[in-house]
Structure 1
Amino acid sequence: MFIPLTLALASNLSTRVFARPPSYAVWAADSAIARGQGNGLDANGNAIVSYEHGEFQWGLRQLYEKTNNQSYFNYIQKGIDNVVFSNGTVHGSYSVTDYVLDPLRTGPTMIYLYGETHLSKYKVAADIFRGQLNSHPRTVQGQFWHKLKYPNQGWLDGIYMGEIFYADYTSTFQHANTTAWDDITSQFVLMFENTIQNATAPNNTGLMYHGYDYSRVAVWASADRGHSPEVWDRALGWYSMALVDVLDIIPISHPGHAKILSILQTLVPRIRDAANPTSGVWWLVITEPGRTKNYFESSGTAMFVYAMLKAVRLGHVQDHDGSIVRAAKKAYNYMTTNWVVANSDGTMGWLNTVIVGSLDTTGNFDYYTSQPTDLNDLKGLAAFLLASLELERLDTRAVE
């Protein structure tokens, strides 16, 4: 069994040095924990309801299930306890009436903790999040707005933030609610139909633009469907992870399962083919390969590796010639060689994750490439944890 760094040991990292674990998944998780990342607090120690914390907790859950190491569960619970009061009220950094999908990514952790502990506060908190969706603004077609301040805009990011929680809540508490399952399916389908590149698109990759404005008033909105001008790797990464994760949740008997599966089967080969043939990883702006200022970005790459390997592992996508797994392993090798850094204290550092990508300005190439990258950015490190878990499952099967 892998033994992670405990919180007590983590507090002494400035003077102690620890051996590198043989598992990259354990190393990534332990390193983030040692730095106090993903624990429901911001850099100043204030409570924050953060989607990247929810992403990290999703990986820690899987690592806890793999290792049975209680410290992972304890860290997950502490992270949610930092943002949920004893009566179930969610901390003041969150407000239903802000109508932002991002915070809902912590919702699956609340549902998980309720199932494990039966403490009512976690159910109350999840109910608050679910209540937001009842009044969350939508386009005429029914797509949730990404945020209240972005009217009529659907972003790929929002599917990962909102729909995994929506599906998890429905599965746990309203399993027979076919209206909800229909709605969840519609969110995935509408996003796909409104953002997928068509055959006449310049720099066509057959992949999905970052988002769209159904009202077509945003400065970046195209005349046909209102889509943004570029395929940004992390937005597509969020959507790809959402596809493979929601297929674990939505009933196979519901027609939405087949519709979402079809989208996944369409995208995975195209994602494989969009990787840089030399490095095996993906450009920040996938629609502008090799252009000056473009670069290989780590969070999107890790997300693609996770989605590709999980899709093959669960039989959602057939890999008859092995090219999908080979592509994922090539990208993973690049990640561990170029973006994983061994620190002197035994932790690992993570490089080349772009801090932000938004559609609040121009949404063009110059915007994306002007955003800085960060060291140990949790959006990328959590995705690397998830990708590592999938690769380790693949290697275990090969041995067996």
Structure 2
Amino acid sequence: MMLSFLLLLSLAASHGSAVTTKLPASYAIWAADSAISRGQGDGLGSNGAPLVSYEHGEFQWALRLLYEKTGNRTYFDYIQQGVDRVVTQNGTVIGGYGFTTDYQLDPIRTGPTFLYLYGVTGQEKYKIAADQYRKQLETQPRTAQGQFWHKLRYPNQGWLDGIYMGDVFYAQYTHDFQAWNTSAWDDIQAQFTLMYRNTLQNATSPPGLLYHGYDYSHTAIWASPDRGHSPEVWDRALGWYMMALVDTLDIFPRSHPGHDTLLSILRDLAPRVRDAADATSGVWWLVITQPGRTGNYFESSGTAMFVYALLKGVRRGYLHNDGFVSAAKKAYGYMTKNWVIGDTNGTMNWLNTVQVGSLDGNGTFEYYISVPTDINDLKGLAAFTLSSIEYESV
């Protein structure tokens, strides 16, 4: 469900003057600075207590790229401050993390930041913290095919989200400390491949995208008779997977056949994602399988993720520019015109990011559109920052 009409009117009325001001030199910097000014992604929850959050990990990835691009130490310091709130001096991860009871993949999204800080600072506590995540993967429950369960409480379920949450870290850790570990590289490849094969649409419209997840045991209420997949293509789940592909390809050794496997998946999916965009606006529907259906709407986090993945894929040479850049630019133009609203205090607000998407229920269209959207939801704002970094590099 989108922001209420009255709320949108209120935002437009209170910030309308800012919308018409001079465009920022960098939307990436504006987005990041705005989030920092609000204390978003700082390693704390809304109650002020330490919190391990995949949203923070996503935002930290964007801040790292901005730091490397601009040299602005503020971004590095913010990353380190946030991590130091959830990693103690002896390397223990706090803030709600406990893999032996939860076996969730979501918290592991902060792992790449631990590895980054260890590489830059050499502080052993970050390596010890990363070791805890790697230890979780050793005993993470799996399907009979070998797919990580998304969470312990979702037996035999693989979700697209989990590939971004767990496997980018898995690849980076292997690259940094176990580059010789062929079995680990094989396993990382298998995580992507199993998810792709078990969630791939067959002869449906739009063709060849990925359903949100699947239940290998076929016991979930939403599981299809053939492969146990969920009934709809949710834009952000597919966005997580696309971002995971382009980020992991940077890490995966080209000498391993898995690199070509991931590259092939990306090249299969990218044209289908491009073609699934709304023809007029250039952006993507919340439920991609139901374009134009009453209640459906253009969603901002998935759109930003697709823009990031397509632009990065072309820039890194993983994709030939078969209309991907023009499609991404069209979508980006819509994002900045419709989902970015300047505030009178100089910051920007970000609209139309759906709060959550889960397979805990029935996975229907009605469920996805019933979830509210948020202003400045970090899942979307971080993705917009990432897409802006790529857009400004074209």
Structure 2 length normalisation: TM-score? 0.94
Match of 2:90 in 1: 87
Question: In structure 1, what is the equivalent of residue 12 of structure 2?
Answer: none
> How many matched pairs?
374
Report SS of the residue matched to 2:341: strand
Matches within 5 A, 1:7-22: 21-22=24-25
Give the Å deviation of 1:20.
Answer: 7.3
Cα displacement string for residues 193-249 of structure 1 (whole angstroms, at most 9, x for unaligned residues): 0000012x3x34310000000000000000000000000000000000000000000
Pairing 1:120-269 to 2, within 5 Å after superposition: 120-199=124-203, 201=204, 203-269=205-271
Alignment of 1:53-72 (within 5 A): 53-72=56-75
Q: Which residue is 1:273 aligned to?
A: 275
Whichever residue aligns with residue 25 of structure 1, its letter is A
Percent identical across equivalent pairs?
A: 69
Shift, 1:332, TM fit:
0.1
Give the deviation of 1:317 after TM superposition. 0.9
Determine the C-alpha separation between the residues in 1 that align with 2:79 and 2:336.
26
Tell whether the 8 Å contact from 1:153 to 1:212 is kept in structure 2 after alignment: yes
SS at match of 1:131: helix
Distance in 2, matches of 1:245 and 1:67, equals: 20
Alpha-carbon separation, structure 1, partners of 2:172 and 2:315: 21
Check conservation: 1:205, 1:287, Cα contact below 8 A. Answer: no
1:162 shift after superposition = 0.1
Q: Aligned residue for 2:392?
A: 392
| Equivalent position amino acid for 2:41 in 1 | G
d(CA) in 1 for partners of 2:26 and 2:56? 21
Partner of 1:50: 53
How far apart in 2 are the matches of 1:258 and 1:206? Answer: 19
Can you list the C-alpha shifts for 1:35-81, whole angstroms capped at 9, x where unaligned? 00001101111111000100000000000000101110000000100
Q: 1:241, 1:306 within 8 Å by CA — same for their partners in 2?
A: yes
The residue number in structure 1 matching 2:327 is: 327
- The aligned counterpart of 1:117 is 121
Aligned equivalent of 1:366: 366
Distance 2:229 2:174 in 1: 30
Judge conservation of contact 2:49–2:95 (CA < 8 Å) in 1: no
State the secondary structure of the residue aligned to 1:291. coil
Q: Which residue of 2 aligns with 1:342?
A: 342
Kept in 1, the 8 Å contact 2:43–2:83? The answer is yes
Match of residue 44, structure 2, among 21, 41, 45: 41
Q: Which amino acid aligns with 1:389?
A: I
1:277-288 matched pairs, under 5 angstroms = 277-288=279-290
Deviation string, structure 1 residues 11-47 (Cα, Å, up to 9, x no partner): xxxxxx9x97410000000000000000110111111
Per-residue CA distance 1:309-343 (angstroms, 9 max, x = gap): 001111111114xx111110000000000000000
Distance 1:110 1:20 in 2: 35
RMSD: 1.2
Secondary structure of 2:214's counterpart equals: strand
1:156 Cα offset (Å): 0.1
CA contact (8 A) 2:206 2:276 kept: no
Q: 1:309 aligns with which of 299, 311, 314?
A: 311
SS of the equivalent of 2:77 reads helix
- Residue ranges of structure 1 left out of the alignment (5+ in a row): 1-16, 395-400
Letter matched to residue 370 of structure 1: S
Displaced runs of 4 or more, over 4 A: none
Secondary structure of the 1:359 match is coil
Does structure 2 retain, via aligned residues, the 8 Å contact 1:52–1:378? Answer: yes
What are the ranges of 5 or more consecutive residues in structure 2 without an aligned counterpart?
1-17
Name the counterpart of 1:377: 377
